Amino acid sequence: MGQRVIHVGSGIPDLQEVTDIGNITTNEIESKSLILTEQVSDPAYAAGKFFFDGIDFRLYDNISGTSISVGKEQVVDVYNDTGGLLTNFTVVRFSGVVGGIPSVQLAQANSVINASGAVIMTHDVLAGEVGKATTFGLAGGDTSMWGEEDLLVIDTAIAGLLTNIEQPILSPIARVLVSDPVDGVILISPKGVQNITAIGQATHEAGATFDVTTTPQQLDVYSNATFQKNVTIDLGGTVAPYTVFMNPSSIGASGYYRVSFSISVTSTDNNLYSFEIYRNGAPSGLVTSIDLRNNNIDAGSTSFSAITQNIVLDTDEIEMYAYTNAGTQTLTIDSAIFSIERIGTV
C-alpha cells in the first residue's frame, strides 16, 4: 500500500511507495537547501525577518533597530530602570522585574553586589523602554580608548563605565578585539566577581617576643584598617615590636575567606603552645599546636588553614590568638606568615 508523502520545499503532493524492512518503515523525502542572498546593507526592519549579511545569519525579533547574530551571541531583553539613556557599551546589572522583563541599573565595582550579574548594552535605550543587553558575543562601536587585547572590567568610580585598568573589586567582562573609533569590536564574556586586593599575606617581624598565658590572647590583628600595600605598620602588642609587612591593600569586599597561618617559634620554657584563628574576638574552634615539652625541645613550627563558615565583612578583624597549657611563658617568633584569600562572594 502506497503512502502519501509531501516533498519538502516543493509544495507539490506526490505518491511514493513505502519500503518495508522488517518492522521499520522508511519514506523517501526530497530535501531542499535554504540559500539566502547576501545583503549589501541591512534590510528594512520587520519582526521575524531572517537574512545573511555576508558574515552572520541575522534575525530581527521584537525590538526595532536591533538584530541577533544567530548561533554567535546571547542576548536578553532588559527594561531600562536607570532613569536615563543607556548607550552602547554601558555596563548594567539586573535589579528586578518589570512586566516580566528583567530591569537593570548601572553596574559599578564599588561593591560586590553592584558588580555582580553584569551585562553590556549594545545599543541605545531610552529610560523606561525595553532594549537588548549582550551576555556573550561580539559587539561593535568606539573602542579607540582601549588597546587591542585589553581586558575590560567594571569601573569603581563611575557607574556603568568599562575600563582597562584593574579595580579593587575585579569583574572581567569583555576583551578588545579591534581598537577603532568607528569599527571597534569587543568580545563580551563576563566572569565572576573577584576581589584581588584580598589575596595576600602579612609577615611578622622575626625575633619579636611576648608572654603567653593559659588564656587565649591576641597575637596579631589583620583587618580592613591594617591591610595596606607595601608599607610597614605597627600593630602594637604586649612586647614590641609587632611589625608586619602588608601586601595587598585591603579586604575590599565581604565574602568567604580562606585564612592560613604558618609559624616558627623559640622558647626557653618547654611547653605546649596553641594557636587559633579568631574573628572579631570570637574563636573559630580550629586549633593547631607546637609541642616543645619532649626532650628539651626549644624550637618548633606549625601551619594550618581554615575556611570561614560565616560571611566575613570588610570591616571584620581576622586575628590569631595564642595560649599555653601552663603558667606564663615567654615565646619568640622566629617567623610567621599570615595569609588571607577571598574564595567566595556573598
Cell of 192: 565572576
* Statement: residue 84 has pLDDT above 60: yes
Distance (Å, whole) CA 303 – CA 288:
7
pLDDT in tens, 222-278: 544 444 333 333 333 333 333 343 333 344 556 667 777 788 888 888 889 998 888
- Does residue 44 or residue 259 have the better pLDDT? 44
What is the pLDDT at residue 249?
Answer: 36
Mean pLDDT score across all residues of the chain: 76
Would you state the pLDDT for residue 314? 61
User: Which residues are paired to 25 by β-bridges?
Assistant: 20
Higher per-residue pLDDT: 80 or 346: 80
Evaluate if residue 85 carries a pLDDT over 80.
yes
Distances (CA, A) of 296 to 266, 268, 302, 330, 334: 12, 9, 18, 15, 18
Q: Does residue 250 contact residue 312 with C-beta atoms inside 8 Å?
A: no
More confident residue, 148 or 220: 148
Q: Residue 248's pLDDT is what?
A: 36
Tens-digit pLDDT profile for residues 110-150: 887 888 899 999 999 999 999 999 999 999 999 999 999 99
Is the pLDDT score of 62 beyond 90?
no
How confident is the model at residue 12, as a pLDDT? 45
Phi, psi torsion values for 311, nearest 5 degrees = -65, 130
CATH code reported for the domain at 196-344? 2.60.120
Of 37-41, 55-59, 169-173, 260-264, the range with the lowest mean pLDDT is 37-41
Q: Summarize the confidence of residues 41-53 as an average pLDDT.
A: 83
- What are the pLDDT digits (tens) for 278-327? 877 788 888 889 899 887 889 888 877 766 666 676 666 777 788 998 88
Q: According to the model, what pLDDT value does residue 170 have?
A: 75
Is the model more confident about 26 or about 271? 271
Instruction: Of 322, 328, 318, give the one whose Cα is nearest residue 217.
Output: 322
d(CA 179, CA 42) in angstroms, rounded, equals 24
pLDDT in the model for residue 295: 78
Instruction: Provide the pLDDT for residue 16.
Output: 47
Confidence of residue 39 (pLDDT cuts 50, 70, 90): low
Q: Report pTM.
A: 0.55
Residue boundaries of the structural domains of the chain = 1-33, 73-188, 196-344
Q: Which residues of 74-105 are buried (b: 16+ CB within 10 A; e: fewer)?
A: ebeebbbbbeeebeebbbbbbbeeeeeebbbb
Residue 6 confidence (pLDDT) above 50: no
Share of the chain above pLDDT 90, in %: 29
